[in-house]
Chain A
Amino acid sequence: MPAQINRILLLFFAFIGLFLIVRHFLIPESFGQYGHYRGDSLIENAEKDKIFADAQDCHACHSDILEKLENEMHAGLSCLICHGPGRTHVEDPQLGNIAKESGMEFCGKCHDIHPARRGDVVFQVDISTHHTEKTDCIECHNPHALWEGME
């Protein structure tokens, strides 16, 4: 074999060797485990912190409220809708660390009359005319027992 071919072949193999070495360091260990991505990324995505609590945890302490709610229009709603993420409260249950959202603005997000809201899906009321002398819906309506104490 001519000497110049030998030199080119040597260069060629050196290049392949270099490619394999670079490849070793650049491709992460778990790349290609399931497909064209880092397999470990699946675990990282699955292990991110959960902020919203597990709504089932509410039953552990508040089964009385939840039982009462069963016959209410608000039955079946997740506690987290009005009470916020609730994670700190589940980990360290105290009176002060759970949200209690209310007010015309908040209740109105679901219940204020709106042409795009279907009447058969949600009970609607015109908040601009309904008992304007009150400042908060919960002055009359207990969210856990909506018609309690009313004629």
Chain B
Amino acid sequence: MAAAGTLLLSSVTRPFDVLLMASDPPPEEGPWWGIGMDIHLCIGCGMCAKACKIENQVPDEPFYFRTWVEQYTILNNGEVKIESPNGGIDGFKPSFEEEEIFKTFFVPKMCNQCAKSPCTQVCPVGATYDSPDGVALVDDSYCIGCGYCVQACPYGCRYIHPEKKVADKCTLCYHRLKNGLAPACMEVCPTKARIYGDLRDRESELVSFLREHDYQVLKPHLNTGSKLFYNGLTAEIS
């Protein structure tokens, strides 16, 4: 009888309110991680995509990526061509005659770590969430692999892991971040085209980057609260 009473009591005390809240407001203190990318500095070496696959044991197939590099080529006739052979891991070879090209550049892509992330809002079981420090994470043991988040992400940054059968995505190398190390992709970026930092810390590298550049986010009309800020983003990039 006493055991049954304790059980009922403990059940009642388990929070009911959290079942109603899909995403939580940011906390007032502690770091609030964001990312800065400089398109002018990206040389398309693909070290980031390669390091990410090694660090996070991302499957080798050329369609599973947590980060990748795209090459945008705008031709003289206005056509926009986007290529990303093996996510850029093997480097890029020129694929258009220089006379045809109006403009060309590399765009590194990864999870935007949105403040109002569409992927966490649609999760039916609470297996993906925004951490208190602003990183969208996946709970491997709770995910049912429905793939709804994969569809919801407007940036194509999620996939279903073929072995674990759960959603997988960039964690901003949360296991490194929490130990004071840079995410693997940023550690190996030779030109510092990608940086991370605490958006609340006015002294951080990222805040200085934002102060000094005319930054923009991807798909701002979707109001995702993206925390990946690009310098040199042009209208063609989506």
Contacts and interface: CB of A to CB of B under 8 A. Distances in A.
A46 B139 CA distance: 12
Q: Give chain B's interface secondary structure class.
A: loop
A17 B43 contact: no
A62 interface: no
A118 B43 CA distance: 7
A36 B171 contact: no
A15 interface: no
A35 to B, nearest CB: 4
A149 B105 CA distance: 35
B7 A52 contact: no
A54 B188 CA distance: 11
Interface string B72-111: 0100000000000000001111101010010011100000
Interface in A30-66: 31-32, 34-38, 41-42, 44-52, 54-55
Given A37-B142, A85-B51, A121-B191, 20 more contacts: A17-B8, A21-B7, A24-B8, A36-B21, A37-B126, A37-B128, A41-B137, A41-B139, A44-B139, A44-B141, A45-B137, A50-B175, A51-B54, A55-B187, A81-B190, A110-B45, A112-B91, A115-B96, A115-B98, A117-B43
Interface of B: 7-8, 10-12, 14-15, 17-19, 21-24, 40-41, 43-47, 51, 54-55, 57, 71, 73, 90-94, 96, 98, 101, 104-106, 126-132, 137-142, 171, 174-176, 178-179, 181, 184, 187-188, 190-192
